[in-house]
Structure 1
Amino acid sequence: MSKKTTYFFQEGWMITIQDLSKSYGNIHAIQEINLQIGQGEIVGLLGPNGAGKTTLIKILTGFLQPDQGQVFIDTVDVIKSPHLAQEKIGYLPENAPLYPELNVYEYLQMMADLRHIPQIEQESVIREAICAVKLENDYSRPIKQLSKGMRQRVGLSQAILHKPKLLILDEPTVGLDPTQLVEIRSLLKNLAKNCTILFSTHILPEVEMLCDRVVILLNGKLKADANLADLAKTNHAILILDEQRPDIQKELLSLKGVKAVEVQKTNGPFGIYQIQGNSEVDLTPQIYHLAIQKDWPVRELRRDVPTLESVFNDLAVAA
C-alpha cells in the first residue's frame, strides 16, 4: 500500500513543492522533492545535465504532470489549475522563441495578444516592459539586428509583460560576453524588487553573484538548499604540518565543534588536514592551542570558507 501524504499550502510562500516525483519509464527524473521559496527571493537552481532541472521547470510551469506530489504557485494548485498558475509566471527558456523579422515593439504586441492583454492597455504595458529592460532606444529595430545580450533583454521583456509574481529563467546568461553579463545581472536584480526569481543554471559564479539562495539537484534528488550568506559562515579550517602523524586526526576530532576531519594525500612529508565544523564559530584558536599543547610542527593554520564550487563538487562526488 502506498503511503498517503497530507498536502498543504502555507501563506507567504511563492512556490511550495511537496513530495514531487516524475519518472520516464525506469528513469527517475525527480524523486520526492520538497521545497519552499519565499516572495522576493532570487534562487539559483543548480545541477549538471540530467539532474532534473528541466523536468522540475516543466512541472512548475504547468507543461508536465508529475507522477505524485503537489505544486503551488502563490496559492494556486499548478496541477489542478495550470492555466491560472501560468498567469502568475513569466518564463524565459534557454532559447527564447523570438521572431527576427519583427521589431521589438511588434514582437511584444504579438506576445501581449497571446497573453490576452486588452488592446487599450497594451501600449502602456509594452512601454513599461521596454523601459524595465532598457530597450528604449532599440524598440523599433528588427530583432535580427540585435546582439545576443539585447535579444536576451527582449526575451525578458516578454516574460514580464503581464507583471508576473514569479520569473522562471532557464540558463539566461549562457553565451553572453562579460559586459552583457553585468547588464543582465543588473536587470535581474531590479526585476527581483517586484517578483520572485528562480534561476536555472550550471554556471556557479553567476549564482554566487546574483542569488540569495541555492538549490542543488543531483540525480533527481534535492541534495542542498542553503542561503549563500549562511554558506559563507560555514566553519572549516586547514591545518598543515611539517610531518604526518597517525594520531592527529583523532586528536582533532576530539575538539568541540569539529564534525569531520579529512586527511589529504600528499607526495611529500607534509600532513594536510581539512577540518569541518558544525557551527559558525572559528575553530582555529582551539586548533592552535591543541597544536601548541601537543608540540605539533605547524606550517600553516587558517580558516577555510567553502565556495559554492567546493560544496557542489563534494555533493557530486558523494552522489
Structure 2
Amino acid sequence: MSVKIQNLKKRYKDQWALEDINLDIKKGEIVGLLGPNGAGKTTMMRAITGSLSLDGGKIWIQGLDNQEEAFKIKSLIGYLPENNPLYTDMYVKEYLTFVANIHRIDIKEIEKVIEKVGLSPEKRKKISQLSKGYKQRVGLAQAIIFNPEILILDEPTNGLDPNQIIEIRQLIQELGKEKTVILSTHIMQEVEALCSRVILLNHGKIIQDKSIEEFQGKFTNLEEAFFEYTR
C-alpha cells in the first residue's frame, strides 16, 4: 500500500474533525476525496502529509510511520494546498529553483516541469503578476518537481479557465499512471473524469468508499450521489 490509515482521529477543541478513519490506497490509484465544507477533507490531507499531530491512530506512507518518520515522509509527498501559499515577490523560475534546491534536485528538472505544467510563457514573470490560474500552475509545479511517490492535490484546478482545466486534468491522469494521487475538489465532473475511486466524508467520518463505476451504476451522476449521501 502507498497509504494506509488505521483508526485515525483528530480533534479541534470539543469537535472531532476526523473520527475512526480506516483506509488503504494503492499505488496507481487516483482517489477523489469528497464531502461538504467542514467534512474533514483538508484535515485528512494535512494528516497524511505529517503536518498535523494526531489524536489517535496511525498513518503509514510506503510502510513508514508518518509521525515517527516525518522528515522522510515529506520527501515522498507532493502537496498542493487549497490556499496555494507562494512567495509572490519571487519570479516563477527563481521560486522553482528555490524549491528544487530544497529537495536537492538537478536544476535541469526545472525547465522540464515548467513545460509540463504549461508555465513557459510566464516563467520570467514575478508570481505576483500572474493570474490566479497561472499561480495554480506554479503550485502544481512545486508539488511535482521532485518526482514524489504520492501527490495530494486540494482543489488543483481552482481558478483555471476551461482549456487550462482540460490540460491540468490530462497531466493529473498521466501522473496517476505511476503515482498515487489523492484529489479533493467540489467539481463533480472532475472526479468523474479523473478518479477510479471516490471516498465520501461527512462530519469527519467516511460514509462511502466505492469505485466510480459503483456510484455511476446506482445514480444518474456523482452530484446526485453526493446530495443523497450528505443532505
SS in 1 for 2:68: coil
Out of 179, 194, 201, the residue aligned to residue 217 of structure 1 is 201
1:1-319 maps to which residues of 2 (within 5 A)? 13-115=1-103, 117=104, 121=106, 123-234=107-218, 305-317=219-231
Q: Deviations over 1:114-170 (max 9, x none)?
A: 32x15xx2x212122222213234322322333222221111111111110001011
Structure 1 residue 24, shift from structure 2 partner? 1.7
The corresponding residue for 1:269 is none
Cα RMSD, aligned residues only: 1.6
The higher relative CO (CA closer than 8 Å, separation ≥ 6) is in 2
Structure 1 residue 100, shift from structure 2 partner? 2.9
% same residue: 45
SS in 1 for 2:168: helix
TM-score scaled to structure 2, two decimals?
0.93
How many pairs were matched up?
A: 231
Take 1:167 and 1:110, find their aligned partners in 2: how far apart are those partners?
Answer: 20
Deviation >4 Å, runs of 4+: none
Q: Which amino acid aligns with 1:53?
A: K
Structure 1 residue 36, shift from structure 2 partner? 0.9
Q: Which amino acid aligns with 1:306?
A: T
Take 1:95 and 1:184, find their aligned partners in 2: how far apart are those partners?
Answer: 18
SS in 2 for 1:140: coil
Q: Which amino acid aligns with 1:202?
A: H
SS in 1 for 2:114: helix
Which ranges in structure 2 are unaligned for 5 or more consecutive residues? none
Q: Which amino acid aligns with 2:119?
A: L
Which ranges in structure 1 are unaligned for 5 or more consecutive residues? 1-12, 235-304
Q: Which amino acid aligns with 1:158?
A: Q
SS in 2 for 1:162: coil
Q: Which structure has more helix as a fraction of its residues?
A: 2
Structure 1 residue 87, shift from structure 2 partner? 0.7
Structure number with greater Rg is 1
Structure 1 residue 55, shift from structure 2 partner? 1.4
SS in 1 for 2:72: helix
Structure 1 residue 221, shift from structure 2 partner? 0.5
Take 1:85 and 1:130, find their aligned partners in 2: how far apart are those partners?
Answer: 25
SS in 2 for 1:97: coil
Structure 1 residue 49, shift from structure 2 partner? 1.2
Take 1:190 and 1:146, find their aligned partners in 2: how far apart are those partners?
Answer: 25
TM-score scaled to structure 1, two decimals?
0.69
SS in 2 for 1:109: helix
Take 1:161 and 1:153, find their aligned partners in 2: how far apart are those partners?
Answer: 12
